[in-house]
Amino acid sequence: MSRTFVHRSASGAARSYSLVLPAGFVHVGGSRSADTALAEVVGQLGLVGDDERDFRRQARPILDGIPSTQSGLRLLDSYVLAGTWPGTRISATITCGVADVPAGTDPDDTLMAQAARHGGSITAVAGEPAVFWTDGGDVVAPPRVDRPVAVLRRRTTLSRIHGLASHLFVVVATVGSDDHEAAEDPDGSIADALSDLLAAVVESIRWRDEAGSTITDRATA
């Protein structure tokens, strides 16, 4: 289980979140460039030679697609599949961040506006109102990457944070591959399975108070 600081909030509000990380995923702390994040993961895994090169080629484009510099969005963490799905070039990441709610705006109105804009659906994260939407099909091609990665599945979740009205929690789960012909997964079953796994990770999120205890009550802020 991974637990990460969210916000230095008022008494009674969430101070951190936790989630259950599947086997095969490694954690990368926030506020890092894609290159720094990859170096950290390579060090954790002890990758060398061809294994290191292949991992960097797969993961770099997806990490570069994280909107960490977007105005009002602070990246907290990335969780990266260590390598690719066996027998394929399919990779996966989960990224978590905190987004500002515009001053004077109701956070629930912000959720509904984003759901309407993206054709999203209503859900919940650890008992808090949330919305999510899915997309894919775009190609991520950062500088100095010789083979862009196609986004096969992407699920974005936007949630209230327990006790906070000033910020929202953002989770982006992405499945991608640099096999643009989809020859390794013609029916999309592998991408679907990974997407379902990442959705289960989002469902495992819990809010925690300053003592690290799980918060179960519904926010009133």
d(CA 200, CA 191): 14
What's the CATH code of the domain at 159? 3.40.1000
Tens-place pLDDT, residues 68-96: 434 567 778 888 887 778 888 888 889 88
Is residue 125 one of the residues assigned to a domain?
A: yes
Query: Nearest Cα to 33, choosing from 125, 142, 129, 127?
Result: 142
Residue 86 lies in a domain: yes
Q: Tell me whether strands 139-140 and 149-161 are parallel, antiparallel or unpaired.
A: antiparallel
Classify residue 214: in a domain, yes or no: no
Q: Is residue 219 part of a domain?
A: no
pLDDT tens digits for range 157-212: 999 998 888 889 999 999 988 776 666 788 889 999 999 999 999 999 999 888 88
The answer as to whether 154 is a domain residue is yes
Domain presence at residue 217 = no
Average pLDDT of span 211-221 = 65
17 occurs within a structural domain:
yes
In a domain, 221, yes or no: no
User: pTM value?
Assistant: 0.82
State the residue range of the domain holding 173: 2-208
Looking at the 3D structure of the chain, how many domains does it have? 1
Say what the pLDDT of residue 128 is.
Answer: 93
Average pLDDT over the chain, rounded to an integer: 79
Nearest 5 degrees, angle CA 46-CA 92-CA 121?
150
Long-range contacts of 52-59 (CB under 8 A, 24+ apart): 54/83, 54/84, 55/82, 55/83, 55/84, 57/145, 57/146, 57/147, 57/178, 58/83, 58/84, 58/89, 58/91, 58/149, 58/176, 58/177, 58/178, 59/91, 59/93
Q: At what angle do helices 49-64 and 34-45 cross, to 10 degrees?
A: 140
| Percent over 70 (pLDDT), the chain | 73
